[in-house]
Amino acid sequence: MTPGGEVVVALDVGGTGMKCALVRPDGATVHAERHATDAARGPEAVVGTILDVAEGLAGKARADGLTPVACGIAVPGVVDEARGVAVWSANVGFRDVPLRDLARERLGLPTALGHDVRVGGLAEARLGAGRDAGHVLFVAIGTGIAAAHVVDGSAAVGAHGAAGEIGHILVRPDGPPCGCGRPGCLEAVASASAIGRRYAELSGAPATAAEVADRAAAGEPLAGRVWREAVDALADGLATGQALFDVATIVIGGGLAQAGPRLFDPLRTALRERLTFHREPRLVAAALGDEAGCLGAALLALDTLAKESR
Ligand SMILES: [Zn+2]
C-alpha cells in the first residue's frame, strides 16, 4: 500500500445491511466492512449510523497513512443526486434526507449521494461486465427490478431522480398487483420474489426463485411454466429497454442472475425473438457481485470531485 495514497470513503446502504469500503481511484478496494442498517430504528438512527461509519472509515484511512479525498454514499429509492437528497425510500424509511450535506459537514470531505442501482450500473459499465461497451443497460433483478442506463460512464438520473424504473414497465395488463399500486408491472411478474410467489400460488408450496429454476431445469412442468412466464416477461421488458436505449450490452445483476445459463440461455432467445430492426445487445451477467454499489458510490464521488476542481 502506497503511504499517502488517496482513497474514497464509500457506503452502499441497503434495507438490511450497509456495505462500506475504502476505494482507490483505480477502483481497487483497500478495506471493506459491513454493518447492519437496522431500519426499524427509524431514519434518524440510520442516518446517525451512516455518518458514524463514514467518519470511522475516514479515520481508519488516516491511521493507515492514506488520504481520504471524497465520500460516496449509495441509497435505494428515489434519490435527487443534484441536491444530494434521499427523497424517498420504502425499505430504509428516508423522506427528504439531505444526506450529502450531512456527510459533507461531518467528514469535511466532498461528498456525492447516488442511487444504489444507478451507481451499481456505473461500476459494472466502467469496471465490470459492461466495460468498454459505451452504452450499457444494467438491470438488477432481486426483490424488485431496477435499471441504470449508462452512456460513456455516466448514468442517467432523470428529471426527478427516478430514471431506470424498468421494473414498472407494464408487461401484463391483467397481471398480478405490483407494489407501486398498479397491476402487471414487470417486477410483479419477473422479480425473484414474484417468481417464488407465483410458484407458491400454483403449487401451494413455498419456493425461492432459485429453487424454481432448479426444478424447471429438472423437468418439473409447473416450475417450467412459472420460469417460462418470468423469462417471457423479462424479454418483453428488455425489448422495450432496447427500443428506448439501443445499448451495446445489457448487464443482468441481482439475485436472479445467479441462475446463470438457466436464465441467460432462454432469455437471450426470447429477447432475440422480440427484436425486429433493433440490434441485439450482448446479454451478460454482472461481474462485480454485491460490491458494485460500493465501487459505484466511490466512482460517483470521484466524478463529483473532478467536476468541482475543474
Ligand atoms: Zn409497479
| Cα 167 to middle of ligand 1, angstroms | 6
Strands (E), 128-177: 135-141, 145-151, 154-155
Q: What local confidence, expressed as pLDDT, does residue 308 receive?
A: 81
Distance of CA 30 to the CA centre of its chain: 22
Nearest to 297 by CA among 23, 4, 15: 23
pTM score of the predicted model: 0.94
| Cα 157 to middle of ligand 1, angstroms | 19
| Cα 256 to middle of ligand 1, angstroms | 18
Distance CA 292, CA 139 (A): 12
**CA-CA distances (angstroms) from residue 216 to 204, 213, 219?**
16, 5, 5
Q: What local confidence, expressed as pLDDT, does residue 1 receive?
A: 45
| Cα 9 to middle of ligand 1, angstroms | 34
| Cα 202 to middle of ligand 1, angstroms | 22
| Cα 169 to middle of ligand 1, angstroms | 7
Cell 456505473 locates to 122
Q: What local confidence, expressed as pLDDT, does residue 90 receive?
A: 81
Residues contacting 28, CB < 8 A, separation 6+? none
Task: Record the cell numbers describing residue 197, joined without a space.
Answer: 410467489
The bridge status of strand 95-97 relative to strand 85-88 is: antiparallel
Q: What local confidence, expressed as pLDDT, does residue 175 receive?
A: 96
Distance CA 176, CA 27 (A): 41
Q: What local confidence, expressed as pLDDT, does residue 4 receive?
A: 66
Per-residue tens of pLDDT for the chain, all 310 residues: 445 699 999 999 998 999 999 999 999 999 999 999 999 999 999 999 999 999 999 999 999 999 999 999 999 999 999 999 999 988 899 999 999 999 999 999 999 999 999 999 999 999 999 998 999 999 999 999 999 999 999 999 998 888 999 999 999 999 999 999 999 999 999 999 999 999 999 999 999 999 999 999 999 999 999 999 999 999 999 999 999 999 999 999 999 999 999 999 999 999 999 999 999 999 999 999 999 999 999 999 999 999 888 7
Q: What local confidence, expressed as pLDDT, does residue 160 receive?
A: 84
Instruction: Determine contact, residues 104/90, Cβ cutoff 8 Å.
Output: no
Q: What local confidence, expressed as pLDDT, does residue 310 receive?
A: 75
| Cα 103 to middle of ligand 1, angstroms | 32
Q: What local confidence, expressed as pLDDT, does residue 3 receive?
A: 52
Distance CA 107, CA 86 (A): 18
Side chain identity at residue 184, one-letter code:
G
Q: What local confidence, expressed as pLDDT, does residue 91 receive?
A: 82
